[in-house]
A = this chain, B = another copy of it.
Amino acid sequence: MMVITLKPGTTEKGIEHVVEKIKELGFTPHISRGEERVIIGVIGENAIRSREIFEAMFIVDSVMPISRPYKLVSREFKGETTVVEVKDVKVGGNEVVVMAGPCAVENREQLLEIAREVKKAGAKILRGGAFKPRSSPYSFQGLGEEGLKYLAEVSMITELPVVTEAMDPRQVELVIRYADMVQVGARNMQNFDLLKEVGRSRKPVLLKRGMASTLKELLMSAEYILSSGNYNVILCERGIRTFEDATRFTLDLSTLSLIKELSHLPIIADPSHATGKRSLVAPMANAAVAAGSDGLMIEVHSRPEEALSDGFQSVTPPDFHKLMKGIRSIAKVLGRKA
């Protein structure tokens, strides 16, 4: 693969000309429009051998090969951090965006109550599972479409955009109808057909890192989505599986920080699932923001002891208020807001 950077001020006609040439040679073009310049990714085996054809064009500024296995997601391809817009909420910009809500949508009242609380505290996006991936077939599997309807309704009432998980390629269409962002869960990070399906949609995607996935694999999974045409991807570090069993997973903030160097995609952290322990959620939220995270995903439940799933790691609304206060002050120190 290679990247063609066009000169500033190139016209649409010029862009089209380059794109035509790329297709003519049997390659696939990927266009990214920056504030000043347009860059075009050219995907196809040995594309770089046609380098000179493009270098000879007047409107082409430079042609560069991309050396890493991940292409469209890499900073080599695009230097500035991508800002993904979830309705009117911008993720990847100056603001540290907090997505909060219950692990699972249990009923309309529960969801509305929590949504109002998290909004008051400063959350910008509502989370809640309608389809729940559970290791046991005998555990609560989520409310399904009913849950999606509650999410849409509560979203309308509170004006919070909604993110929720799709587990099956056949659910994507349905989920997209109700939600503002589709989540691909950790267990499905390498469910490639699901990745292609969310890639064909244009809705923002929250892609969670698999519990045993390397940095490279996470970026390759994101590449599946981008190469299918959907550039609106937010990554999420949610803990990896290690020998340490005092916490549920090990939140890997070094990798989060490294991903920010290597990729232009925004990345957030999920300290709730990572730690599995209520008392660790706030300190790890602080740590994630300090490490440069573009956002957080936090589980909040009014009565954690009665939650239908993962109550042990949910914080209460008062705790969430405190947490927001904490990360706000850390974000400020780093020149960001939250």
Contact = CB atoms under 8 A, between A and B. Distances in A.
A286 to B, nearest CB: 4
A310 to B, nearest CB: 16
**Copies of this chain present:** 4
A170 B170 CA distance: 8
A244 interface: yes
A79 interface: no
A290 B330 contact: yes
Interface in A39-76: 43, 69, 71
A296 B274 CA distance: 23
Given A138-B43, A211-B212, A214-B245, A192 B287 contact: no
B137 A223 contact: yes
**Among A168, A190, A253, A289, residue most surrounded by chain B Cβ atoms (within 10 Å):** A253
A89 to B, nearest CB: 24
A246 interface: yes
Interface stretch (A8-16, A117-125, A254-262): A254-262
A138 B245 CA distance: 23
B246 A243 contact: no
B227 A212 contact: no
A316 interface: no
Nearest to A279: B261
A177 B134 CA distance: 29
A169 interface: yes
Interface string A226-245: 01100000000001111111
B137 A227 contact: yes
A191 B192 contact: no
Given A138-B43, A169-B169, A242-B242, A280 B252 contact: no
Given A136-B223, A240-B244, A254-B251, A168 B190 contact: no
Interface string A269-288: 00100110101100110111
A242 B245 contact: no
A214 B246 contact: yes
B258 A252 contact: no
Contact of A283 (B138, B224, B290): B290
A61 to B, nearest CB: 25
Given A279-B261, A292-B283, A192 B243 contact: no
A108 interface: no
A289 B251 CA distance: 16
A215 B246 contact: yes
A243 to B, nearest CB: 4
Contacts of A330: 290, 330, 333
Contacts of A332: 333
B253 A244 contact: no
Interface in A1-19: 1
A265 B170 CA distance: 30
A275 B253 CA distance: 10
A153 interface: no
A201 interface: no
